[in-house]
Amino acid sequence: MSPAADLPTTDSFWNDTGRRGVAAWIFSTDHKRIGLLYLYSVLAFFLAAVILGILLRLELMAPGRTIMGPQTYNAVFTVHGVVMIFLFIIPGFPGAFGNLVMPIQIGARDVAFPRLNLFSWWLYIVGAGIILASLFTGGGPPDTGWTFYVPFSSRTGTNVSLAVFGVFVVGFSSILTGLNFVTTIHRLRAEGMTWGRLPLFVWSLYATAWVQILATPILGITLVMIIAERLLGTGLFDPARGGDPLLYQHLFWIYSHPAVYIMILPGMGVISEIMPVFSRKPIFGYKMIAFSSIAIAAAGSLVWGHHMFTSGMSDNAILVFSFLTFIVAIPSAIKVFNWVSTLYRGSISLEAPMLFSLSFILLFSIGGLTGLILGAAATDIHVHDTQFVVGHFHYVIFGGAVFAFLAAMHYWLPKFYGRRYAEKPAIVAWAMMFVGFNITYFSMMVLGMKGMPRRYYDYLPEFAPLNLASTIGSWILVAGLLLLLANLFRGLLKGEPIGKNPWGAATLEWTTTTPPPTENFEQEPVVTHGPYDFKGAGIP
Amino acid sequence: MSVTLHRDYAGAKLGMWLFLFTELLLFGGLFLLYAAYLARYPQEFGAAGREMQLAFGTVNTVILITSSLLAAMAVTAIQRNRQQAAFRLLVGTILCALVFLGNKYLEWSIEIGRGIYPGSERLVAGPPGESVFYSLYYLTAGLHGLHVLIGGFFLALVAVRVRMGTIHAGDFVLLENGALYWHLVDLIWIFIFPLYYLIL
């Protein structure tokens, strides 16, 4: 896809001379092209996993077997989770918007290691290919759940080894993106771009990148151990041979809890960019929002044990992990309060990016507060492994991270295409998604409270009405999503042309031409004001 | 598109150091399991550890430390513009890596001959802690061996470029990063050696 020819795009990155056709994309080291490669790759996997999600909801529409049996159901929820988490939302923000926007926001011409950046995308594609191959070869798609818990994952006859290896490769890609971004943010800031003038999206990516660097290797070694368990028979997690399955859970969550912050932190960064622009007011509490990103990354790395309250840890460990989990709520709340304070006496303009951001705050708050119910050991034991967990998780990751991703698509993609979407259909799509979302996942939380377990294809008749509601909600949600994507991409290709700075934002990406030129700026920018200093940027 | 040469040595080294952190953490998972299982099976770990072939471990430690010294000397040589010396020192480093791997092959052949490998009849029948010890040993040392192999390949590429003159006194960050990686491989062995061969 490329913007129409009548735009003044002679020096835009779309007209980059050099390789032609597909090769101009898949071998490009331009961070913007790599960003778009990531965007379309992750969106493709997102849509595939959405279809799986819809199938899961269809199966649960009525008790008993509806469209699939238990083994298929196990495989579908496993693949839904693996694809959504490892192929969409973890690589999504850093890969797509981190690449597209971050170098321009700090006034750089590209990332620190452009070829490594391209290599990361290739690793991602290879890993994704391996995961896809695992679905159709060997014993068929894995049926372990995305957590690959032992002992089941070391014994099941399905193709776990190959899937796990694919996730390992994708993890390596994530590590390389993280170290690329940390180096970029340290070394390539433009003159005058001090740490105190860094846009909050960059701060959030910086915190995310550290989590990617420090946590992902632990996932790597854990996955290697599953493969060794299956292929070599190491027995390290096999109780019959002296191993301890609980240690697997520790290792897995040492990565996978911080990974939740890889998913949500950049989303929070997006919200911090959009709030001030659409409130026409500098962000409230810049320093605290920047600091809270680092605090969430740090504290979030110490709370993995709260996934294991019912696994047989000692009471002391449960107490400590429960306490640390509550600590994470503090920096999260700091962000929410600062966003809300930014709105206060602002001149609020309810355009699509802002509506997604406002609903992010609400949905993320619900997700965060229900997280505390799970973080407190006493209540967790009641709702552990029920639909409540599924509802909570989707409030944080779908209502949070994905809504922020959609906000980012509406906010930033017009800059790179030079055209914008139509406003009204975008708002209708947002409203449908917001309503559908709440029907789908709030029903799940209520079902969980009533005791419906997760990961079963069948349930007791008393759970039928809410399950039906949830399934109908999922249709509204997906209809909204399809409308949103159709309107957005139609607009990017055929919509109204936009100028340099359609939203009136003060960050650097809006000072360069639309679409940006290959190395981002005609002249290297010198930064003289903060990212939300609208007066300093001369924006009325 | 204007082509501008952008060289940022500090950036390249920062990136390498971050990568080394991730390698440490990768092995960290295995060391974590070692700690947890040592606490659970002190007797079995002790008995198994005393059966390890100390001679192989010791010789390999000396070889790796020597190779690290040679790699460091190669960096100094290139800084002093002694291209030929740097090349020879790198070849020395790679030879050490090969000897290390050869030793590992011999050591493992003997172990496997004694019926000690993951999932072997002897280990499955023996006490659980012993099986855990050897499985961890094979995984850790195997992963380390893989790193020796990767590091050796990387240094070979660097050596070729030193020979061709594309790495020289004015631009040697690749050599420096290669040497850094090699020191990491060395460093991890410095921890593996006492944990499995010495202290038990």
Residue B43 lies in a domain: yes
Q: Which of A11, A33, A155, A179 to mutate to test the interface with B (most CBs of B within 10 A)?
A: A179
Collapsed DSSP state (helix, strand, coil) of residue A224: helix
In A418-463, which residue ranges form alpha helices assigned H by DSSP?
423-450
* Residues A421, A502: Cα–Cα separation, whole Å: 12
Q: Do residues A453 and A387 make contact, with C-beta atoms less than 8 angstroms apart?
A: yes
List chain A domain ranges: 29-510
Backbone angles phi, psi at A5, to 5 degrees: -75, -20
| pLDDT for A19 | 81
Of A128, A50, A61, A52, nearest in space to A90 by CA: A128
Do A235 and B15 lie within an 8 Å CB cutoff?
no
B176: exposed, middle or buried (Cβ count in 10 Å: 0-12, 13-18, 19+): buried
Q: Is the peptide bond before A94 cis (omega within 30 degrees of 0)?
A: no
Please tell us whether the domain made up of A29-510 is placed in CATH 3.40.640.10: no
For residue A271, the distance in angstroms to the closest alpha carbon of chain B comes to 29
CA-wise closest residue to A293 among A393, A205, A398, A174: A205
Which residues from chain B sit within 8 angstroms of residue A243, using beta carbons? 128, 132
**From A226, which residue of chain B is nearest by alpha-carbon distance?**
B139
pLDDT of B161 reads: 96
Q: Which chain B residues have a beta carbon less than 8 Å from that of A15? A: none
- Indicate the average pLDDT of chain B: 94
Could you tell me the CATH number of the domain that includes residue B49?
A: 1.20.120.80
Residues from chain B contacting residue A232 (CB–CB below 8 Å) = 118-119, 138
In a domain, B107, yes or no: yes
Chain A residues with CB under 8 Å of B18 CB are 178-179, 182-183, 213
Which of these, A308, A207, A309, lies nearest to A258 by C-alpha position? Answer: A207
Residues paired with residue A526 on neighbouring β-strands, in sequence order: A191
Q: What is the pLDDT of residue A411?
A: 97
Could you tell me how many CB contacts below 8 A there are between chain A and chain B? 116
Q: Is B51 on the interface with A (CB under 8 A)?
A: no
Closest CA of chain A from B85, distance in Å: 30
Q: Do A217 and B138 touch (CB under 8 A)?
A: no
Q: How far apart are CA B21 and CA B14, in angstroms?
A: 11
pLDDT mean for each 10 residues of chain A (540 residues): 49 83 92 97 98 97 95 96 97 97 96 96 98 93 94 92 96 97 96 96 97 96 95 91 94 95 96 96 96 95 94 93 94 96 95 97 96 93 96 97 98 96 97 98 97 95 97 98 97 95 95 92 92 88
**pLDDT for B41-84, tens place per residue?**
999 999 999 999 999 999 999 999 999 999 999 999 999 999 99
**Which of A31, A183, A251 best probes binding to B when mutated, by most B CB atoms within 10 angstroms?**
A183
In a domain, B138, yes or no: yes
**Cβ-defined contact of B1 to A113 (cutoff 8 Å):** no
Query: Would you call B5 an interface residue with chain A, using a CB distance cutoff of 8 Å?
Result: no
Give A504-531 as a 3 state SS string: CCCCHHHCCCCCCECCCCCCCCECCCCC
pLDDT at residue A10, as a whole number: 59
Whether the Cβ atoms of residue A443 and residue A466 lie closer than 8 Å to each other? yes
Which structure tokens are listed for A235?
Answer: 């027995």
Alpha-carbon distance A467 to A162, whole Å?
Answer: 34
Q: Give the chain A residue whose CA is nearest to the CA of B6.
A: A112
What is the model's pLDDT at position B98? 97
Write out pLDDT tens, residues A464-514. Answer: 999 999 999 999 999 999 999 999 999 999 999 999 999 999 999 999 999
Tell me the residues of A at the B interface, defined by beta carbons under 8 Å apart: 16-18, 109, 112-113, 116, 175, 178-180, 182-183, 186-188, 213-214, 216-218, 220-222, 224-225, 228, 232-236, 240-244, 247, 251, 254, 518-519
Question: What pLDDT, on a 0 to 100 scale, did the predictor assign at position A136?
Answer: 93
d(CA A258, CA A506): 31
DSSP string, A315-355: HHHHHHHHHHHHHHHHHHHHHHHHHHHHHTT------HHHH
- Reduced to 3 states, what is the DSSP secondary structure of residue A386? strand
| Residue B142, in any domain of the structure | yes
Largest separation between any pair of C-alpha atoms in chain B: 68
Spatial CB neighbours of A92, under 8 Å, sequence gap ≥ 6:
A38, A42, A46, A263, A401, A405
Residue B153 lies in domain: 13-198
Contacts of B28 in chain A (CB under 8 A): 217-218, 221
Q: How many angstroms separate the CA atoms of A71 and A59, rounded? A: 12
CB pair distance less than 8 Å for B14 and A518: no
Across the interface, whether the CB atoms of B119 and A235 are under 8 A apart is answered yes
B135 Cα to chain A: minimum distance (Å): 5
The angle that helices B128-164 and B83-113 make with each other, rounded to 10 degrees, is 160
Question: Cα(A207)–Cα(A211) distance, rounded to whole angstroms?
Answer: 7
Measured in angstroms, the CA of B43 and the nearest CA of chain A are apart by: 13
- CB-based contact A97:A263 (threshold 8 Å): no
Q: Measured between beta carbons, which residues in chain A are less than 8 angstroms from residue B40?
A: 244
Q: Evaluate the CA torsion angle B64, B67, B71, B77 in order and state its sign.
A: positive
Closest CA to A198 of A175, A182, A210: A182
Q: Which tokens sit at A459?
A: 């349930």
**Given an 8 Å threshold on Cβ–Cβ distance, is B1 in contact with A519?**
yes
The predicted structure's pLDDT at residue A72: 95
Identify which of B18, B28, B143 has the shortest CB distance to residue A179: B18
Regarding pTM above 0.80, the answer is yes
Nearest Cβ partner for A232 among B12, B18, B118: B118
Instruction: Indicate the residue of B1, B23, B29 with minimum beta-carbon distance to A251.
Output: B29
- Cα separation, A154 vs B33, in Å, equals 18
Name chain A contacts of B23, Cβ cutoff 8 Å. 217
Coil, helix or strand for B3? coil
A153 burial type by CB count under 10 A (0-12 exposed, 13-18 middle, 19+ buried)? buried
Asked if A244's CB is within 8 angstroms of B40's CB, the reply is yes
Tokens of A490: 């139609």
Question: Cβ–Cβ of A188/B11 closer than 8 Å?
Answer: yes
Alpha helix positions (H), A137-199:
152-155, 160-187
pLDDT of residue A1: 44
- Our count of domains for chain B comes to 1
Q: Which of B18, B135, B138 shows the shortest C-beta gap to A213?
A: B18
pLDDT at B101 over 90: yes
Q: Dump pLDDT digits (tens) for B107-123.
A: 999 999 999 999 888 98
CA pair distance B119, B135, nearest whole angstrom:
8
pLDDT at A538: 86
B71 lies in some domain: yes
Distances (CA, A) of A259 to A36, A44, A90, A397: 23, 21, 7, 11
Q: What pairs with residue A453 in β-bridges?
A: A386
Touching check for B47 and chain A: CB below 8 Å? no
Does A186 contact B14 at a Cβ distance shorter than 8 Å? Answer: yes
Amino acid A167 reads V
Mutate to test the interface with A, among B3, B6, B18 (most CBs of A within 10 A): B18
Nearest to A214 among B2, B25, B118 (CB): B25
Within a 13 Å sphere around the CA of B105, how many CA atoms are in the beta-carbon half? 7
Which residues, 6+ apart, have CB-to-CB distance to A376 below 8 Å?
A: A322, A326
- Cβ contacts of A281 within 8 Å, gap of 6 or more: A342, A345, A346, A347, A534
- Whether cis (ω within 30° of 0) applies to the bond prior to A103 is no
DSSP states of B34-86 as a string?
A: HHHHHHH-HHHHHHHHHHS-HHHHHHHHHHHHHHHHHHHHHHHHHHTT-HHHH
B164 pLDDT band, cuts 50/70/90, is very high
- Are A221 and B27 in contact (CB < 8 Å)? yes
